[in-house]
Chain A
Amino acid sequence: MVDLSTKIHELELKNPVCTASGTFGYGEEFADFFDPGLLGSIFIKGLTLKNRAGNPYPRMSETASGMLNAVGLQNKGIDHFIENIYPRIKEFDTHIIANVNGSTVEEYVELTERINELDHIPAIELNISCPNVKEGGMAFGVSCPSAVAVTEAVREVYDKTLIVKLSPNVTDIAEMALAVEGAGADSISLVNTFLGMAIDAETRKPLLSTITGGLSGPSIKPIALRMVWQVYKAVNIPVFGMGGIMNATDAIEFLLAGSSAVQVGTACFIDPQIPIKIIQGIEDYMERHGVKEVRELVGGLID
C-alpha cells in the first residue's frame, strides 16, 4: 500500500490529483461519472463579485492537440454561489478551493473576505492570470509590482491557504513566482493558459469572438513542465503544476519537475473519469518503482 497523501501549506491532500478551475464546474457536474470526493481537491469555476456574462460566442476553437477558449469568467457572482451552489457542494469529502477574480485590487480583497466566511473552503486560488477578461485578470499577473500588490492586499485579510495562479505569458516565470512568494503566497499554481489565436483562412475571420484566447491541452505540456521546474527551483513554497496533463505519466512528470500536487484540466472534457484514472496510474507507478510516499517523487528529477 503506497501513501498518496501530500501537503500544501496547511492543506492535507489525500492524493496529489486535483481538478483545474474552469474545467470541472463545481464538481457536482461529474457526480454521474465518479465521486468527486475521491480527488485531492477541487478548484471550482472562477468566481467574481458580480454576475459575469462572459464573452460572446464563439468562445472555443479546437487546435492541434489542444483548444483555445475565450469564456471570460462567466459565472453568476458570489451571492449566487453562496446561496445556491455552496450548500450543495460543501459536504464533498475533499477540499473545495475557490478561484478568485477581480478587476481591481479592492475587488479581489472584497471577494476574498466573502469566501473567508465559508467554513468549508480552506483555501483560495488567486487568479491573476485569466487571459480572457478586458480588465484585471492577466494584467495583474504579467508585471511583478501589480502581482505583489494584489497578493499582499489579499494576504492582509486572509489567513487560510493562499495559492496564487500564475500566467505563463511572462518573460521570466521564476521572477514572478519569487515576487508572489515574497508578497505572502503560501503556494503557487501554474500554468494558466497561453495567449493564442486562430483564424479561418477561407473567411479571413478570427475563430474566437475576442480574436485571442487561452491555449490549453497537451500542446502546452512541455512549456508548462519547464516553467514548473523553473519555479520549483526558485521558490520555497509548494507548487501545483498543470498544463496539458492527459494521463498518469504526464502527472508524474509534473511531480518530478517539482509539483507537490497537480491539476487536471482540459483532459476532463474528453474523459470525465480521467482524474480517477490518474490517481490509479500514480499508485501503479509507485508500486512498480518501489516508491512508498508520493512526496518522494516531488522534484525527483535526476539531472
Chain B
Amino acid sequence: MKRIEDLTVKNLRWLNTNSYVLELSGSEATRDIRPGNFAEIRIDNHPDVFLRRPFSYLDYNKDEKTVSFFVKAIGKGTHKLGTLKKGETVNIIHPLGNSFSIPENKKVLITGGGSGIAPFIMLGRELKEKGNEIHILTGGRTSEDILFTDEFRKYGEVFCTTEDGSLGEKGLLTQHSIFSGKAFDYDLIYTCGPDGMMKAVASIAKERSIDCEASLENLMACGFGVCLCCIQETTEGNKCVCTEGPVFNINELKW
C-alpha cells in the first residue's frame, strides 16, 4: 500500500562535496519496502521546485521506523533537500514501483554507476540471505564517487573502476577486467546508473545470454502512474517507469 507520510529528519550526512545520505524517521511503511522501490519526496520552500523528486531507498529499518536515501546534489531540488536540518519535516509518498527479482543460490553481478549504487545495499542483503554468490562492481569518476564499499563487502566481493584511476581499475565501469575474465559465469546481472552505462552492461549481458535487470530513472511528474510522463518504450508498448518499473528485464527494453 502507498502512503503519504510526514517524516522527521533524523540525520543528514554529507559523504563528499556533492552527495549526502538523508535519514528520515517515523515511517509506518517500512514493512512494504522491497529492494528497487522508490519514494517521491516533496521539496518545500523553493520557488522553482514544483514537483516532487523520486529517490530509490538506500536502506530502511523496520524496528526504528526509518528510511534513508542516497542523494547526489545535482540540481536545484537535490541542493535544496540537502539544506534540511535535523528535526525538520519531510513529506513523502512511498513505497512506489516494482522491485528486483531475488533468486536463490545463484551467482549474480551487481553493477552500479555513480548514484546508481543506491538501491543495491538492500538488494545485496536480501540476495545474501537467499544464499547467492554476489559480486559488486561500482564505478565513478574519482575515488570520491566510490561509496558504501564497506557495506557491500558484507554481502559479497567488491570491485571498482574510476575514470581517473584514483581507485580500483582505471576506466569506465564496463571496461573492468571482470567482463573479460574467464569466470564471467553469472546467472543474473543487475544494473543501475547513467543510461550509457546501463546500455553497455545490457549489451554485454545479451551477448553472453545472461539475464539482466536494469533500474531506470526517467523524469516523473507524479510517481504513481497517472501523469504518464515517465514512459519507457518496451516490447509491449510504452510502460510507466513509476508503476511498471523502475526495474525492467532488459529483454523488454528496446535498447
On A, residues with C-beta under 8 Å from B are: 22-25, 29-30, 32-33, 45, 51, 53-54, 56-67, 69, 71, 74, 217, 266, 268-273
| B147 in the interface (beta carbon within 8 A) | no
| Contacting residues, chain A, for B49 (C-beta < 8 A) | 62
> Nearest Cβ in chain B — how far from A4, in angstroms?
24
Q: Which of B220, B225, B226 has the most CB of A within 10 A?
A: B226
Q: A57-B233, A67-B221, A69-B221 are in contact. Are A217 and B50 (CB under 8 A)?
A: yes
Q: When the two chains form the complex, which single residue of A58, A217, A269, A273 contacts B227, counting CB atoms closer than 8 Å?
A: A269
| B48 in the interface (beta carbon within 8 A) | yes
| Contacting residues, chain A, for B227 (C-beta < 8 A) | 22-23, 60, 69, 71, 269
Stretch at the interface among B1-9, B100-108, B180-188: B1-9
List the B residue with the shortest CB-CB distance to A19. B226
Interface residues of B in 38-89 (CB under 8 A from A): 42, 47-52
- Tell me if A272 and B47 are in contact (CB < 8 A): no
| Contacting residues, chain B, for A69 (C-beta < 8 A) | 221, 227, 229
Give A1 to B112 CA distance when docked, in angstroms.
Answer: 58
- Tell me if B237 and A53 are in contact (CB < 8 A): yes
| Contacting residues, chain B, for A29 (C-beta < 8 A) | 224-226
Q: A53-B238, A60-B219 are in contact. Are A65 and B47 (CB under 8 A)?
A: yes
Chain B interface size band reads 20 to 34
> Nearest Cβ in chain B — how far from A92, in angstroms?
16
> Nearest Cβ in chain A — how far from B197, in angstroms?
18
| B201 in the interface (beta carbon within 8 A) | no
- B223-241 vs A, CB cutoff 8 Å, 1 = contact: the mask equals 1111111111100011000
Give A54 to B237 CA distance when docked, in angstroms.
Answer: 10
Q: A58-B219, A62-B51 are in contact. Are A71 and B226 (CB under 8 A)?
A: no
> Nearest Cβ in chain B — how far from A81, in angstroms?
15
Q: When the two chains form the complex, which single residue of A25, A53, A270, A273 contacts B51, counting CB atoms closer than 8 Å?
A: A270
- Tell me if B218 and A23 are in contact (CB < 8 A): no
Q: A60-B219, A62-B50, A272-B93 are in contact. Are A32 and B1 (CB under 8 A)?
A: yes
